[in-house]
A and B are shown apart, each in its own frame.
Chain A
């Protein structure tokens, strides 16, 4: 099918959903599920939890779609919601860990699916482990910059922070990751 100029914009799809076209929402899910999922996995370090976070983000977006201002950016709105859900999960996880200090911390390694390419899996685990050492603020800034490859201006809209502040977070995240991964680099 070859009509890229005729594909509906997000605003047009949102408008259809608002007018009761439930199936149109599927288009928005297809457009944003991968990037939201990557962001959530990088932040919460657990694929099952990330899938739940993304699903909850979309369901909430569907329920609240009438609240989205005319002409607003659905993608940015969904990102903000997803990042906030990840933050909430991490906070609740910390409370849980404090209550069960002897329990092992949740890790991607323990719940991840088996990977046939051992090296790839090892590298992924190393990165996940290094990411988990970052503060939430540094990790989400790093993920949006280097995993989702967003501009600082787009990040500022999602994370509600200034561009200089985000640059500082990304710089510090790079330094911390480089130090944490020195042995495998």
Chain B
């Protein structure tokens, strides 16, 4: 193969720098590259993600993480008759000791892609407080639909709290929903009954009912100019 063809394929020279002889060889290469293009278009089998997730070993947590996990995991509790009084006293003590917990700011900005984001940031001495809320814009094309909502773990799979709107009636439903940073699952609900997977999601996971939840990962708004 002509050395200049290699240099061209390596991005070192422009096509216009190739001689007639090199151009002929380049055309032969381009025929070969059309075969390689088939391989470039190849995708992993659809079952692979779930096979991999099922094969993962259990997560090993450090002792500290185990303690934190125990503290933050919700569990049912029984309250004795006088317990509410004790709880109220404890609540008053907390408010006195940590007044900065009550201090929050809310601000609004426009993200570069034209997506409006609203962030609630915590201030004061609570640097480990839950990360700030991000407003995510969801969109689904559903021509002829009467209503579209988004339901996910970020809104407890509520069927009516994440309503989208189609203001101009063109079938594109859009809505902003508050989401905490992290990895979430969600689906759309069309006309209050039909559960639809987002065709443009970042990833998918089986929902246990024969359909797929969409996956959404949201980063904290800390770096944004607010």
Contact = CB atoms under 8 A, between A and B. Distances in A.
Answer yes or no: do A and B interact.
Answer: yes
B48 A4 contact: no
- The CB with the most chain B CB atoms within 10 A, among A1, A4, A58, is that of A1
A1 B49 contact: no
Contacts, number: 166
Contacts of B56: 22, 25, 58-59, 62
B31 interface: yes
Given A37-B48, A51-B45, A175 B65 contact: no
Interface stretch (B74-82, B88-96, B109-117): B109-117
Interface size, B (range): 35 or more
A137 interface: no
A178 B59 contact: no
A55 B215 CA distance: 20
B201 interface: yes
Interface of A: 1-9, 12-13, 16, 19-27, 29-31, 33-34, 36-38, 41-42, 47, 51, 54-55, 58-59, 62-63, 120, 123-124, 126-127, 146-147, 149, 152, 167, 170-171, 174-175, 177-178, 181, 185
Given A126-B35, A127-B36, 4 more contacts: A1-B138, A25-B53, A147-B36, A174-B29
15 contacts: A1-B201, A1-B214, A4-B113, A5-B112, A5-B115, A7-B219, A26-B53, A27-B215, A36-B44, A51-B48, A124-B39, A127-B36, A127-B38, A174-B6, A174-B29
Top 7 A-B pairs ranked by shortest CB distance?
A30-B203, A37-B44, A8-B217, A33-B44, A24-B183, A127-B35, A185-B31
